[in-house]
Chains A and B, each alone.
Chain A
């Protein structure tokens, strides 16, 4: 699978020239909270984060649960809680993002595939939720095409979210992101708890998006899926990016990986020895 994709990538390079879509430099984020009366404390959630995403590229951000990966996604979309303080620079298409830009861009140029399947509107049928995001005519047709692309049965469009299994709900979320005309897609843990077929059905459309020249940030803790899908892997631990690794560096006992945490992560996989540090 990986080999196929690599050759595919080369071909596609001749079709369009990739340009920088997103650039995050020296990004830090802290929360101010009150503990016990008026005592104010700040908690550093992200210390130093650097990453870039080009057009047509899928960049996986891999790290432990609770390491601040989702905060990064929310920071890019400008959806942070009021007590968060950020520093550093987020550039989109070479221009520094302001909160105003973010409000304007999200949903149109930057779309998100949220982590929780609770993000679906519980009172709207699945098909309609997708159709509200489609611009222009033939909404129903387009929605059915997308459903077929992500492997959803046509009758699913008439189901309410509570009637969907976890895997089906995930694919509806992916379908919503696919029909929007966004150029940057931030996918926050879109694949946990999917079986092999559903996983394949969900990552194929994400690959498709990248092949159309869109940039994808794929946030996950599942390094196995990240390796299958992404072009490069940003490893995130303890609030910092510790390594940006190439997919081809993940082999054997992790000899080509530079950071010890990345090695530990690789060797802890059940198929790679299941070692604990």
Chain B
């Protein structure tokens, strides 16, 4: 905060611009998907004019039918897909492609599909940049897992590695797309307790996508039904 004050005193002009942008997002959420429309090729629209926001330190639960386009929206927000219309902003700024990890990291449903089977776990983990012993401890990852191959770990253990890889990129936001669907109840509870702890500690915003309403009720601060924001006319009401 004091650093910000220092800069703002130095450069009033710059500050003004910044203030304007902040005014825009005041009272609104800080990671924003604005008026997103998307379709694959020339097919029918999967979503039109979707608006969704996540604040830092907030867990937003996103529910909806299978095949409705929740994962597509997640991919757009995390920068894997470019929307046909609309934009994704953080603090009012557009996310730009830089040679750095994306500020929004996505954790997928099937960890074994997003890990190179021919890399030892440490190499996979380093894709996210760095990792610290503290992070490994928080996620209950044992040091000796790092020398193993993916086939030598269980689904829950692999998902912890994926989560560590995502958090190693020190993202501002995390999207958990059915992150614990493939795991048993105990592992699910353990992983979510860790994530909620990280949310508090590092003030990360989380978009949690799941069909399990009981889970979303438990972990999220507020819930969004995708069918309500997906339809153009619903949103504008």
A interface list, Cβ under 8 A from B: 62-66, 165-168, 192-199, 221, 223-224, 264-266, 268-271, 274-277
User: Could you tell me if B66 and A166 are in contact, using CB atoms closer than 8 angstroms?
Assistant: yes
CA distance A264 to B184 in the complex (A): 11
B15 to chain A, nearest CB (A): 44
A64-B187 contact given A221-B182, A270-B214, CB 8 Å threshold: yes
- B25 contacts A by Cβ under 8 Å: no
Residues of A within 8 A of B212 (CB): 224, 270
Inter-subunit contact A268/B186 (CB<8 Å): yes
B155 contacts A66, CB within 8 Å? Answer: yes
Chain B residues near A192 (CB, 8 Å)?
A: 181-182
Contact check, B187 vs A65: say whether CB atoms are below 8 A apart.
yes
Residue-wise interface mask of B (185-201) relative to A, using a CB-CB cutoff of 8 A (1 in contact, 0 not)? 11111101100000000
Q: Is the CB–CB distance between A270 and B178 below 8 Å?
A: no
Asked if B66 and A65 sit within 8 Å, CB to CB, the answer is no
Task: Tell me whether B64 and A195 are in contact (CB under 8 A).
Answer: yes
Q: What are the residues of chain A within 8 A of B66 when measuring CB–CB? A: 165-168, 193-195, 198
The number of residue pairs between A and B whose CB atoms lie closer than 8 Å in the complex comes to 87
Q: Which residue of B lies closest to A168 (CB)?
A: B67
B192-219 interface with A by 8 A CB criterion:
192-193, 211-215, 217-219
Please name all residues of chain A whose beta carbon is closer than 8 Å to the beta carbon of B181 when the two chains form the complex: 192-193
Interface residues on B, range: 20 to 34
What residues on B are CB-neighbors of A266 within 8 Å?
Answer: 185
| B128 interface residue per 8 A CB criterion | no
A265 touches B67 (CB 8 A): no
CA distance A221 to B186 in the complex (A): 10
Return the chain B residue nearest A197 by Cβ.
B65
Given that A274-B189, A276-B189 are known contacts, is A63 also in contact with B215, CB under 8 Å in the complex? no
User: Within the complex, which residue of B182, B184, B214 is in contact with A271, where a contact is CB–CB below 8 Å?
Assistant: B214
Supply 14 A–B pairs (Cβ within 8 Å), ascending by A.
A64-B156, A167-B65, A193-B181, A194-B211, A197-B65, A224-B214, A269-B185, A270-B189, A270-B212, A270-B217, A270-B219, A274-B189, A274-B193, A277-B186
Q: Of the candidates A65, A166, A274, which one forms a contact with B183 in the assembled complex, judged by CB atoms under 8 Å apart?
A: A65
Q: Please determine whether A166 and B189 come into contact, CB atoms closer than 8 angstroms.
A: no
Known contacts A167-B67, A221-B183, then 12 further A-B pairs from the complex at CB < 8 Å, ordered by chain A residue: A65-B183, A192-B181, A192-B182, A193-B109, A196-B213, A199-B211, A221-B182, A224-B212, A265-B186, A268-B185, A270-B212, A274-B218
B185 adjacent to A223 (CB under 8 Å)? yes
When the two chains form their complex, are residues A264 and B67 in contact, meaning their CB atoms are under 8 A apart? no
Residue with the highest number of chain B CB atoms closer than 10 Å, among A199, A224, A270: A270
Q: Quote the shortest CB–CB distance from B70 to chain A (angstroms).
A: 10
Residues of chain A contacted by B192 (CB below 8 angstroms)? 274
